[in-house]
Amino acid sequence: MPRLATALLGACCAVLPALAVAQAPQRPEVARAAAALQDKVVAWRRDIHQHPELSNRETRTGAKVADHLRALGLEPRTGIAHTGVTAVLKGGRPGPRIALRADMDALPVTEQTGLPFASKVTDTYRGQTTGVMHACGHDAHTAILMGVAEALVGMRDELPGEILFVFQPAEEGAPEGEEGGAGLMLKEGVFADFRPEAVFGLHVFSTLNADRLGVRAGPTMAASDRFELKVIGRQTHGSRPWGGVDPIVAAAQIVNQSQAIVSRQMDISRQPVVVSFGAIEGGIRYNIIPDSVEMVGTIRTFDEDMRADVFRRLNHVAEHVAAANGATVQARIPADEGNPVTYNDPALTARMRPSLEAVAGPDKVVDMPLIMGAEDFSLYAREVPGLFFFVGATPVGADPAGAPSNHSPQFDVDESALDLGLRAMLQLALDYLEGGNAG
């Protein structure tokens, strides 16, 4: 028995180092940098939050970012995709190339948080005056990446490889009639002269507590496509509907019948699908049947074949239902180039998950469900392997199910998330550049 006990003890001791390697600790330089930068990152976030700017209008935010990068000794490139900013940091040793991305734009939402640094900004959106708010957390993303840039510059001499910092405008979508976002950044050459091996991004998220990170391999966020339908009838007096063609009735039937695309025609056991109408506009007076009705909506999918199939089926429904009512329809499905599925490269995700666990703890890195929201980070990840992860925004101890969601006028970010997001992004960058977690 003593010999057996000794043998078992020796075997256990032999296993312990292997376990320690499997779960790498947080890098001490990450902890030091985060502690030193904490107050700065909070201040940057509050300043950006108080001065939000709509998509393609991020002039002040872009200038703040560029000034910071110049102060760090970098040479920022400005004016990409209207207001975007990039900069390259070259380490003191040879190594891989990676890109780190943050988005900068706010939303046409009137803030209701009551924060001392709440936005009081107003602007014009689709011809209407509206409040402007960082209701999705892009202020946090920008501040975090500014901090990551400062931390990595401080490690420049020992750093292997090169990092491209990408501060992107218009993630929420460019104004009508304009191009913007990741698509325009790529079109204007953001990866032309600097082709990274991998791209990383993060998003603060209300469905997680602020001590947690979320990640998912493969399809993560849905493809998002906008559609437009114009149902054309013939105007008549409301008392004589037979004297014209009622586009309102036809439009209502199109809305109803379109729901059968999802519930009866798509194999949603394969992947989920959403078809939603967001706005319907037609007519101006209670007793006049109008000439036309315009409708806009969104399609969300996770599979390219299913995506194309929904486009075809919605066109079919709109055309035939309109015809059955004696009307015609002008359809734009999709209305523009939407966002593809945000896809996390499985090999990259498996390699880098230990980095996330190192900063949050293995029990605080959760597997995310499929998210029907969309992200134009997907366009970068279609060019090179990408990893997009989530940082909890809801205070620890609060129920995320009851927290104001992203895009809500009450949405807020628990500021401890800034520290966790900075440490996570910094650990990912250093581990990848130095070959960490490679199998």
* Cis peptide, bond prior to residue 334, ω within 30 of zero: yes
Q: How far is CA 271 from CA 222, 250, 262, 373, in A?
A: 10, 30, 11, 14
> Is 105 one of the annotated active-site residues of the chain?
yes
The length of the chain is 439
| Catalytically annotated residue among 53, 58, 111, 171 | 171
> Is 171 one of the annotated active-site residues of the chain?
yes
| Catalytically annotated residue among 58, 105, 111, 225 | 105
- In one-letter notation, the amino acid at residue 70 is R
Name residues whose C-beta falls within 8 Å of residue 371's C-beta, 6 or more positions apart in sequence: 220, 221, 222
Alpha carbon 26 to its chain centroid, in Å, reads: 26
Q: How far is CA 109 from CA 54, 136, 363, in A?
A: 10, 10, 35
Phi, psi dihedrals of residue 152, rounded to the nearest 5°: -70, -35
Q: Reduced to 3 states, what is the DSSP secondary structure of residue 194?
A: coil
How is residue 189 annotated by DSSP?
T
DSSP one-letter string for 342-370: EEE-HHHHHHHHHHHHHHH-GGGEEEPPP
Q: In degrees, to the nearest 5, what angle opens at C-alpha 380 toward C-alphas 377 and 382?
A: 110
Whether the Cβ atoms of residue 374 and residue 342 lie closer than 8 Å to each other: yes
Which residues participate in catalysis according to the annotation? Answer: 105, 171
